[in-house]
Amino acid sequence: MMDTAALGEKIVKVLKTIYDPEIPVDIYELGLIYDVFVNEDNDVKILMTLTTPNCPVAESLPQEVKEKVRSLDEVNEVELELTFDPPWTRDLMSEEAKLELGFL
């Protein structure tokens, strides 16, 4: 059985395959994922945001995140909470993402 930390890393790898359609950087490096919780039953809760509340993918992106994380064999349930508090800013992006987008 996988420990929660190892599963958490696996989930992050999956999150790094999901891209914001308007920005060529994955949602993890963009800082859209605020938190990933894994409990001992391998239930996952993801707290995420979008670049803007009226983002064109407000419906599809969280759904994609849920489906891709749920597709991991070890994952039991996936709960996704969308929040705009705190609102997303460029400061949340990784150095890598800022470099990629020319903000550095």
Percentage of residues of the chain with pLDDT beyond 70:
98
Residue 97: pLDDT over 90: yes
Q: What fold is seen in the domain 4-89?
A: GMP Synthetase; Chain A, domain 3 (3.30.300)
Q: Which residues is 48 bridged to in the sheet?
A: 33, 82
Rg (CA), the chain: 14
- Mean local confidence (pLDDT), 57-86: 95
Domain ranges of the chain: 4-89
pLDDT by residue (tens digit) across 29-49? 999 999 999 999 999 999 999
pLDDT by residue (tens digit) across 12-34? 999 999 998 888 899 999 999 99
- Mean local confidence (pLDDT), 41-61: 92
Residue 1: pLDDT over 70: no
- pTM here? 0.91
Alpha-carbon torsion (29, 37, 76, 5), positive or negative: positive
